[in-house]
Amino acid sequence: MTSHRWAQALPLLAVLGSVIALGIGTSFAKQLFPQVGSLGTSALRVGFSALLLLLIWRPWRWPLSRGDGFSLLRYGVALGCMNLMFYQSLQSIPFGVAVAIEFSGPLAVAMFSSRKPVDFVWLALAVLGLGLLLPLGHDVTRLDPTGVGFALGAAVCWAAYIVFGKRVGHLHAGHSVALGLSVAALAVVPFGVWHAGTTLLDPAILLFGLGVAAVSSAIPISLEMVALKRLPQEAFGIMTSLEPAVAALLGLLMLGEHLTGLQWLAIVLVMLAAAGSSVTASRAPPKSTPEEIVM
């Protein structure tokens, strides 16, 4: 009985561990901003993540058609731009708020792909939550419009990343993720080098960046792959909808980012929209597509 309960709990714990590891990695990454800025931090995170996954998956072992190569190119560019804009947003708005706004991207994709009446409930919750977060002329949120704009840009890139990721969903997840992150690194690293220059070569910063990449990419991806083999897709979606709350809590504990009551309410509304959308979404045959593996 104990082993059966452990087997049931393991995938749930794996997803929770993935969400926490991603949040911790991002919280540590933000501490690099004073040294190399958000662009340099993005370069370190994405660059080292790509190197780690290339070593783990060795994607050159699998053949790649020209059509798949073009799809991976778009997928990787979307992933790179998503990371750049998200880290840019963290310069001026809290971590949890940025994640909640960014969640509007995958929510939009889910809404456009469904026609069920109940999805209008999740859409209403998402719109209400975002309405409480966006600086629409009231003084409650005190959010920087530029930071919000970057978070919305990251949401658009996340939506594009999901759409393009579905086009390479027939490839092995390790294959597509490793190559996609490599393309993302090629798109992101030049911006980091342009902004931070030789500061990126400081051994202490390189070591810190490697740790950030391991905690925010290699560990979450490994845990999610364990979970995806054992969890129904809707359960996986519900668990990952915890990400904005985990990000807000880690932002409070690790970065000292205090949110208002309305901001917490907005995050909860976005989480409910994401969880509800995961439950009612139309189901395809389960497969480990890239957009489920990487965040």
Q: What is the tens place of the pLDDT at every residue in 58-113?
A: 998 889 999 999 999 999 999 999 999 999 999 999 999 999 999 999 888 877 77
Residues listed for the chain: 295
Helix %, strand %, coil % of the chain (to 5): 80, 0, 20
Q: Measure the CA–CA gap between 224 and 230, rounded to whole angstroms.
A: 10
Nearest to 216 by CA among 190, 168, 242, 181: 181
Task: Give the separation between CA 165 and CA 176, rounded to whole angstroms.
Answer: 8
- With beta carbons less than 8 A apart as the criterion, state whether 151 and 90 touch: no
Tokens 């190197």 belong to residue: 51
Gyration radius of the chain over CA positions: 18
> Whole-angstrom Cα distance, residue 98 to residue 239?
19
Q: Rounded to an integer, what distance in angstroms lies between the CA atom of residue 29 and that of residue 88? A: 12
DSSP structural state of residue 59: G
Tell me the residue range of the domain where 83 lies: 2-293
Whole-number Å distance between alpha carbons of 291 and 189? 22
Structurally, the chain folds into a number of domains equal to 1
Please write the tens of the pLDDT for every residue from 222-265. 787 677 667 776 677 777 888 999 999 999 999 999 998 989 99
pLDDT value of residue 9: 73
Q: Is 95 helix (H, G, I), strand (E, B) or coil?
A: helix
Q: Which pLDDT band holds residue 201 (cuts at 50, 70, 90)?
A: very high
pTM: 0.88
